Structure 1
């Protein structure tokens, strides 16, 4: 089935994985129109789908534009992030696909999301862990990674590109330190313990507000990615690290353990001692991982094919 017309509802149209999703589906012949919730989204990452500083009024005044646009000959509405579900469900004509991004299911609005999601025609989550939290009928489709953009390159060349020194071991913490859910203090403590253990210069750096097309340089310039989040759905930074053969040390959140299954070197644990040991061993050896070998199933092409299958099943039911 080709020529589908889809009306996207989204809280953050600048989210990199949302933009990649739209681009891939358009490449497959789907006509995509996007409506964003009005008001300011002051979340601290463009990859976050959080409600930011928007008010209930912002969401209420979003509905008239959704209703008006839904009469424009579309085949379905794709509600991206749980807070767009009420507006999608309230339009009376089109079937609804709801994609959950993580915090909309596992954060403060999780109970609301769980009540509304069964009213949609199809629900998509990013990981099996999210599916378990949701507990209803859903499809697990992780956000995809552009494997042409994210690929291995020479470490020293990448460091020259981003301006990092070549004489130290660098741990990349890829989030703003103020995002509490990412737990920067725990990451800082782990790196400090590793630095005290190794007879090597060790530093931790962040890479925020970086154009997405340049993130591959930072992932290739680092010696390890460290993720210490309290919770995640299916973090794209881990998948992008795999595509670049960057070793990952992470807490056991979302689908991280599944993504790192068979990837060496890597460490997944909720125990700080194990995280410290794993990171120290990676920095001591300086080895890259075999993550690229495990990246095929997280490519943006596979994501697009699976989402298109959902669209077709909903549009023809």
Structure 2
């Protein structure tokens, strides 16, 4: 099977993981990325405008006459280029901000013309309002696994006698709402005897992220919207407790995970974080997250490809 992938950012780690997994089962993948400036701020999608996305149409149209079996549009704003070509069946994957953000109407209109649509969560399926497949991005359980917290902290130079709370995003990325995370950690610090330190992490190699997950006492997610946040699943795979706003599929993912919590208010987030930090224990997240391992989600996406191609 030969697949032409359209994507906003071909360096995205979960996209690369998706391609690697599919190629392992015999899918030959070619990727075309949207041209133009990339500056992911969460509100303007990725710093590019309509003209940049229109520039994706000519190379897609040319390649649609090649020997491909289908086009997979990854992210809703690549869907127009995919569905406007006349030759190949189309799968559209919606990732979260493309459907739930201010350009969601564009994603809905063009994804509705695809042969099959994949979303990351039940919440997104309800928002899309049409039949679709719920297949979240998978987590690599070989890479993300429990390690010694003390060793991880020594590796990073983090203090042992401090409650370490991980915020694995750039503070300036608006949709992640860093100011809210800072408020929650400050309030938690006032409620606890020991110091609570908020650790922001971005731009580090993905293979280093398990060290940060294992060095922390809790992951704090304060996003305004999400699809199926990889950071939550990666934290679960490392048995790192998670305290999160009620976004995307986080409530579903954390069902049965303890200690962890999903909250809607600052006070709720603070109380939950204090509870997690006072327990000083790891979660049982790894046992729960196995259902969305990268292998299982890959196989489900491959099945969608086969369905579209009539295999």
What TM-score results when the alignment is normalised by the length of structure 2? 0.97
For 1:24, the equivalent position in structure 2 comes to 21
- 8 Å contact kept, 2:73–2:90: yes
- 8 Å contact kept, 2:169–2:202: yes
Q: Give unpaired runs (5+ residues) of structure 1.
A: none
- 8 Å contact kept, 1:226–1:248: yes
CA distance in 1 between partners of 2:251 and 2:46 (Å): 29
Greater CA deviation, 93-102 or 264-273?
264-273
Question: Which of 231, 234, 238 is matched with 1:237 structurally?
Answer: 231
CA distance in 1 between partners of 2:273 and 2:52 (Å): 44
Offset at residue 252 of structure 1 (A): 0.7
CA distance in 1 between partners of 2:91 and 2:149 (Å): 41
Runs of 4+ in 1 over 6 A off after TM superposition: none
CA distance in 1 between partners of 2:63 and 2:153 (Å): 47
CA deviation map 1:91-149 (0-9, x unaligned) = 11100000001011011111111111110000000000000111101000000011000
Offset at residue 14 of structure 1 (A): 1.1
For 1:100, the equivalent position in structure 2 comes to 94
For 1:205, the equivalent position in structure 2 comes to 199
Offset at residue 244 of structure 1 (A): 0.2
Greater CA deviation, 157-166 or 301-310?
157-166
Q: Is 2:309 aligned against 1:312? A: no
CA RMSD of aligned residues (A): 1.3
Offset at residue 34 of structure 1 (A): 0.3
For 2:296, the equivalent position in structure 1 comes to 302
Q: Is 2:118 aligned against 1:121? A: no
- 8 Å contact kept, 1:11–1:50: no
CA distance in 2 between partners of 1:180 and 1:50 (Å): 10
Three-state SS of the structure 2 residue aligned to 1:119 is coil
Three-state SS of the structure 1 residue aligned to 2:66 is coil
CA distance in 2 between partners of 1:180 and 1:85 (Å): 25
- 8 Å contact kept, 2:43–2:174: no
For 2:254, the equivalent position in structure 1 comes to 260
Q: Is 2:142 aligned against 1:148? A: yes
Three-state SS of the structure 2 residue aligned to 1:262 is coil
Offset at residue 23 of structure 1 (A): 0.5
Offset at residue 57 of structure 1 (A): 2.4
Q: Is 2:163 aligned against 1:165? A: no
CA distance in 2 between partners of 1:155 and 1:112 (Å): 45
Q: Is 2:66 aligned against 1:69? A: no
For 2:182, the equivalent position in structure 1 comes to 188
Question: Which of 4, 7, 13 is matched with 2:4 structurally?
Answer: 7
CA deviation map 1:263-294 (0-9, x unaligned) = 00011110222211111111112100000110
CA distance in 2 between partners of 1:254 and 1:227 (Å): 12
Q: Give unpaired runs (5+ residues) of structure 2.
A: none
Give the count of matched residue pairs: 311
Greater CA deviation, 193-202 or 61-70?
61-70
CA distance in 2 between partners of 1:313 and 1:245 (Å): 35
Question: Which of 275, 278, 282 is matched with 1:288 structurally?
Answer: 282
For 2:36, the equivalent position in structure 1 comes to 39
